[in-house]
Amino acid sequence: MNFYLLTLIKTGLIAFVLLTALAYIQWIERKVLAHIQLRPGPYRVGPHGLLQPLADVIKLITKEGFIPSHVNLFFYVLAPLLAVALALIPIAVIPFGPEIDIFGVRTWMQLTDLKIGALFVLAVSSVGVYGVALAGWASNNKYSLLGGLRSSAQMISYELPYALALAAPLLLLNTLSFREIVNAQAGYYLGFIPRWTIFQAPLPQVLSFIIFLIAGFAETNRIPFDLPEAENELVAGYHVEYASMKFAAFFMAEYANMVTVALVTTLIFLGGWHAPFPAPASNYIPVVAHVLIAAIAFYHGTQPIRSWDKYTFPATGVICLGIAGLFLVPVLQPILMPLFWFIAKAGLLLFVFIWIRGTLPRFRYDQLMNFAWTFLFPLAVLNLLATGFMVAVFSK
Amino acid sequence: MDAFLFLTFAAIAVVCGINIIVQTHPISSALSLVGVMGALAVLYLMLGAEFIAAAQMIVYAGAIMVLFVFVIMVLNAGGERLTKRSAYVRIFGVPLMAMFLGLIAFVIQAALPRGEMVTFGAFTRGGPADVGRALFTQYLLPFEVVSVLILIALIGAIVLARKEID
């Protein structure tokens, strides 16, 4: 098939799925946070607030996009554009699954594979701070400026452990292309321990994984590292002066960064789309999971608390059974299985992001800097040296 | 396609480069410099120097320039004011610049081998492995000397900063 046509279709598909997912990750975050705090969360718009993201989008689009009079106009408008563009670009090199065959067309579930894919993600995410820093400066507001300053200082500091923790598993995998990174993690030790980098000999990269995740939290400005937008100190930090779609752009950029960190962590540390145990057994896990959800839904359908529960719960159950059935179709299995495992792992990481937001308080600024420079950075250097030593000793 | 991409990014690099000195505000100049670095990174990538392109973005655009912008923001530097050009500049400025550019063009012309045009895609040994091997075999001494130089600069900066506090 024509390369351009194929790429256009894939780009459209990924853009649509990603943007929808971004809106719904926000819904999931609000729901999970609410349940952590014993609240119902969004509940009014649609069943269980499922249409809340749509309502939010409409609200943000139709709001008046005013521009304050005291701002530096060019950079004020450029900043959100820059933030959202740089947050979405890394998705282009991320593979979502292996090479698949659809109606005779063989293609990878990935837009493009760079030979330096891992470095590309690092490069784009390191430039991503300009959006936040410029927004803070161009707004001409002291809270914004403080937010922008904190963000750039934090990004420079945490970039180092982030990159060093990324380098250690790359020493084991011996490649920078995401396709090869995932392929190098295929297979199992003793038939059941997956060869993911966090388990891989000669040195399991558990420490790198933890450092990478912590630095990733800081890179995405999430709690406990959300000092650039600390509400109780800086009102809202760098985006105080932004409203309507320009604010939505920052919001989207934050979630896109979060998704990128989760996907890259999955690819590099958790074996990408490879199942946690060998094939015939692992293929039944998604089926069993969906059937279990269906069973729970049917059970609750028999004991309705609200009048509409009699219909909504069984309907959910039927949908879940349908999805479970899809996983059993042999033609669809090579497409759905990798996708399931990849999304399951990345989704678990995203859940950890939200869980930590609901659990931990914010760092104080000096603690943040001390933690990066006196603890995380030396630890990452030692970890890299140890990994390099082990690879040098045990490599053929 | 290659020529089109090259011309586009070369034009961006030149325009941003001119913009650095035209702009009066330090932030605008700094960001123009980031633009130059980004455009150069794309040109490196087109020439097959993938690792250099990524390093350019990570180190220069992503770390050093962020620090520059940070410092400009902390100092809250305002726009520079243009002074009237002195008599020397008005008389000798343009001829001296033309001479300088001519000199650079001559040196490049003389230093490069003749009759060899660069073609996009011809060079394929720009990956991290190749660069690493070259750095630690062929260019080991310059590499180590540069790292010592950077260490000296680092120690110097710390010494200077300490004096201020005492």
* CATH assignment of the domain containing B37: 1.20.120.1200
Query: A91 lies in which domain range?
Result: 63-274+329-394
Cα–Cα dist A136/A221, whole Å: 14
- State whether B58 and A155 contact (CB < 8 Å): no
* DSSP classification of residue A64: -
Angle between helices A142-173 and A206-219 (to 10 degrees): 160
Let me know whether A44 and A89 are in one domain.
Answer: no
Specify if B19 maps to a domain. Answer: yes
Let me know whether B3 and B57 are in one domain.
Answer: yes
Confidence at residue A1, expressed as pLDDT on a 0 to 100 scale? 62
Single out the residue in A21, A36, A56 at which a domain terminates. Answer: A56
**What residues of chain A lie within 8 A of the CB of B51, using their CB?**
116, 119
- Residues 68-107 (A) with a CB less than 8 A from some CB of B: 75
Confidence at residue B164, expressed as pLDDT on a 0 to 100 scale? 59
Model confidence at A301: pLDDT above 90: no
Confidence at residue B145, expressed as pLDDT on a 0 to 100 scale? 94
CA distance B83 to chain A (A): 24
**B41 with B68: CB under 8 angstroms?**
no
Let me know whether A193 and A334 are in one domain.
Answer: yes
Let me know whether B73 and B132 are in one domain.
Answer: no
Average pLDDT of the segment spanning A337-345: 86
Specify if A382 maps to a domain. Answer: yes
Strands (DSSP E) found in chain A: 97-102, 105-109, 188-189, 193-194
Number of domains in chain B: 2
Confidence at residue B116, expressed as pLDDT on a 0 to 100 scale? 66
Cα–Cα dist A266/A169, whole Å: 12
The better pLDDT of the pair B112, A262 is held by: A262
CA distance A115 to chain B (A): 8
Q: What is the mean pLDDT of chain B?
A: 84
What's the ipTM? 0.78
Model confidence at B163: pLDDT above 70: no
Specify if B89 maps to a domain. Answer: no
DSSP string, B61-104: IIIIHHHHHHHHHHHT--PPPPPPPPHHHHHHHHHHHHHHHHHH
**What residues of chain A lie within 8 A of the CB of B154, using their CB?**
none
B19's tokens: 């913009």
Which residues in B have their CB inside 8 Å of a CB on A? Answer: 27, 31, 34, 38, 41, 50-51, 53-55, 57-58, 61-63, 66-67, 69-70, 73-74, 127-128
Which 3 state secondary structure label does DSSP give B3? helix
Specify if A360 maps to a domain. Answer: yes
Confidence at residue A396, expressed as pLDDT on a 0 to 100 scale? 63
pLDDT digits (tens, 9 = 90+) for B84-116: 777 777 788 888 989 999 999 889 888 877 666
Number of domains in chain A: 2
Specify if A302 maps to a domain. Answer: no
State the burial class of residue A372 (Cβ atoms within 10 Å of its Cβ: 0-12, 13-18, 19+).
buried
- State whether A120 and B51 contact (CB < 8 Å): no
Specify if B117 maps to a domain. Answer: no
B26's tokens: 């330090």
CA distance A38 to chain B (A): 41
Confidence at residue B103, expressed as pLDDT on a 0 to 100 scale? 93
Pick the residue from chain B with its C-alpha nearest to A79: B31
Alpha helices in chain A (DSSP H): 3-36, 52-62, 73-88, 117-127, 129-138, 142-173, 178-183, 206-219, 231-234, 244-269, 279-282, 285-302, 309-328, 333-359, 365-370, 377-394
- Residue B165 banded pLDDT, cuts 50, 70, 90: low
CA distance B8 to chain A (A): 19
Q: From the CA atom positions of chain A, what is the Rg in Å?
A: 22
Let me know whether A68 and A182 are in one domain.
Answer: yes
Angle between helices A333-359 and A3-36 (to 10 degrees): 40
**A205 with A269: CB under 8 angstroms?**
yes
**A196 with A204: CB under 8 angstroms?**
no
Confidence at residue B146, expressed as pLDDT on a 0 to 100 scale? 93
Specify if A318 maps to a domain. Answer: no
pLDDT digits (tens, 9 = 90+) for A152-209: 888 888 888 988 888 888 888 888 888 888 888 887 777 777 888 887 777 788 888 8
Q: What is the mean pLDDT of chain A?
A: 84
A380 near B CB under 8 A:
no
Let me know whether A20 and A120 are in one domain.
Answer: no
Model confidence at A379: pLDDT above 80: yes
pLDDT digits (tens, 9 = 90+) for A107-139: 777 777 878 888 888 888 888 888 888 888 888
Q: What percentage of residues in chain A have a pLDDT greater than 70?
A: 99
**A255 with A170: CB under 8 angstroms?**
no
Model confidence at B148: pLDDT above 90: yes
Let me know whether B72 and B135 are in one domain.
Answer: no
Model confidence at B166: pLDDT above 60: no
Query: B35 lies in which domain range?
Result: 1-81
Interface test with A, best of B25, B27, B66 (most A CBs within 10 A): B66
**What is the maximum alpha-carbon separation in chain B?**
61
List the Cα angle A340/A342/A348 in 5-degree steps: 95
**A377 with A160: CB under 8 angstroms?**
yes
Task: Report residue A106: phi and psi, to 5°.
Answer: -90, 125
- State whether B70 and A120 contact (CB < 8 Å): no
**A80 with A53: CB under 8 angstroms?**
no
Model confidence at B57: pLDDT above 60: yes
- Residue B46 banded pLDDT, cuts 50, 70, 90: confident
A348's tokens: 């678990």
* Residue-level length of chain B: 166
Average pLDDT of the segment spanning A21-32: 89
Cα–Cα dist A13/A94, whole Å: 14
The better pLDDT of the pair A332, B58 is held by: B58
Let me know whether A47 and A185 are in one domain.
Answer: no
Let me know whether A389 and A333 are in one domain.
Answer: yes
Residue type at position B24: T
The closest alpha carbon to A207, from A260, A258, A167, belongs to A167
CA distance A313 to chain B (A): 50
| Of the partner residues B38, B62, B73, the one whose CB lies closest to the CB of residue A145 | B73
A58 near B CB under 8 A:
no
A299's tokens: 């059970």
Model confidence at A140: pLDDT above 70: yes
**A237 with A228: CB under 8 angstroms?**
yes
pLDDT digits (tens, 9 = 90+) for A268-288: 888 888 878 777 777 788 888
- State whether A137 and B73 contact (CB < 8 Å): yes
State the burial class of residue B62 (Cβ atoms within 10 Å of its Cβ: 0-12, 13-18, 19+).
buried
The closest alpha carbon to A20, from A256, A245, A244, belongs to A256
Single out the residue in B49, B81, B113 at which a domain terminates. Answer: B81
Size of the A and B interface in Cβ pairs below 8 Å: 76
Interface test with B, best of A115, A116, A158 (most B CBs within 10 A): A116
